[in-house]
Amino acid sequence: MELTVKEALALPLGKKIVLNHNRELQQVGQAAGLLSGFLGTLSSDFQQLPIGEKSWKTMSKASKEHAFDQFKRVFHYEDDGRGIIKRGIVQRIGNSWRNARNHLFHKEKCKKNAANRSKQMYTHTGGSKTMGRKRHEEELRQGRPIGRGEGWTMSHKKKRMEAIEHIESQDPSSKEFSHNDSLAQSDYCVQIEEYQMEIEKLKAEAAELNVESAELKVAAEEEKAKRQRMKAEGKAKMQSMGNLLSYIIQQQGGSLPPEIAADLDSLRSNTIEWKNRLTTAAIVKQSYYNNFEADITAAKLNRCKILFSSSCSSGCY
């Protein structure tokens, strides 16, 4: 016996419509189609579910329970003991309420969403039937279990409106691809994300190396200024000591005592030795800095070669 939504709403007291469910606790059978229309009518009754609420989340618990009580007045189902069926029904009421509300207040947004849906690569062609109902009917017709992937393939078309199921019947080799197509696209997206993450990582490392290089440059400039300052101070001290010695020589009648002459020779030799050491240290530090910059450049080139060679081998370019 087939009923309409109006007839379901007008059922005598004590009579209910029995809902059947599949393994995933989805509604199946003729009653599932009647349920969809009933929930649409129920969610459009804005006296029971106020339209002024901003979202379904802010809807009062009392209103949600009242809507579910209206559902239980017409339909009967075996409770699963975990509340999964009830949560699913309440969620469907919320989706229908949101769609009805958006139809009134967001027509422009609905037009935009419709335009975006037209760009989808795969279009649902199962009509108003849910995936659960479609799979249930196919299981009854074929007498075997139908998986989710196969059920999805049965109810979708490609962009040029060619049924995937028809393509598989014409070309058996495409069946394996169509079943794994979503997984392949997911793997490809993950691979692209990994490459993007690697590029961002390289950029971050390059930025760190640039900062370190700049710090080394600043340190080298400071060291150079320090050496020049020490050199100038040493030169000034030598000049002062020379002037002092000249004065002492004049006071001694033109000659120095032997011990002072020996100290003067030792001071001159030490000054020359320290000057040579400073020059050698400056050369070594400049060489280290040049080698460090060369290593940075080589590391960047090697990472880029590895990245783009791996991406090319994956068929992305």
Per-residue pLDDT of 224-278, as tens digits, reads 888 888 888 888 888 887 777 776 766 666 565 666 666 666 666 666 676 677 6
Same domain, 172 and 193: no
Residue 314 pLDDT > 50, yes or no?
Answer: no
Domain shared by 38 and 152, yes or no? yes
> According to the model, what pLDDT value does residue 160 have?
45
Distance in Å from the first CA to the final CA of the chain: 60
Same domain for 102 and 18: yes
Sequence letter at residue 11: L
Name the average pLDDT for the chain: 74
Q: How confident is the model at residue 47 (pLDDT cuts 50, 70, 90)?
A: confident
Tally of domains within the chain: 2
**Same-domain check for residues 17 and 124:** yes
User: Looking at the structure, do residues 166 and 204 belong to the same domain, yes or no?
Assistant: no
Query: Which of 182, 209, 240 is the endpoint of a domain?
Result: 182
How confident is the model at residue 126, as a pLDDT?
60
Q: How confident is the model at residue 315 (pLDDT cuts 50, 70, 90)?
A: very low
* Residue 231 confidence (pLDDT): 86
- Picking from 114, 149, 182, the residue at the C-terminal end of a domain is 182
Contacts from 43-51 at CB under 8 Å and sequence distance 24+? Answer: 43/67, 43/93, 43/94, 43/96, 43/97, 43/99, 43/100, 44/96, 44/97, 44/100, 49/93, 49/97, 51/101, 51/104
Do 158 and 30 lie in one domain? The reply is yes
Give dist(CA 18, CA 5) in Å, integer: 14
In the structure, what pLDDT confidence band is assigned to residue 172 with cuts at 50, 70 and 90?
Answer: low
How is 236-248 classified by DSSP, letter by letter?
HHHHHHHHHHHHH
92 with 200, same domain? Answer: no
On whether both 156 and 14 belong to a single domain, the answer is yes
Same domain, 225 and 281: yes
Shared-domain flag, residues 140 and 226? no
User: Measured between alpha carbons, how far is residue 210 from residues 203, 218, 225 in Å?
Assistant: 10, 12, 22
Q: Which pLDDT band holds residue 70 (cuts at 50, 70, 90)?
A: confident
Element of type H or E holding 297: helix 258-313
Give the range of the structural domain holding residue 309, as residue numbers without chain letter.
189-313
Q: Which of 128, 150, 182 is the last residue of a domain?
A: 182
Statement to judge: residues 170 and 200 lie in one domain = no
Task: For residues 21 and 96, state if they share a domain.
Answer: yes
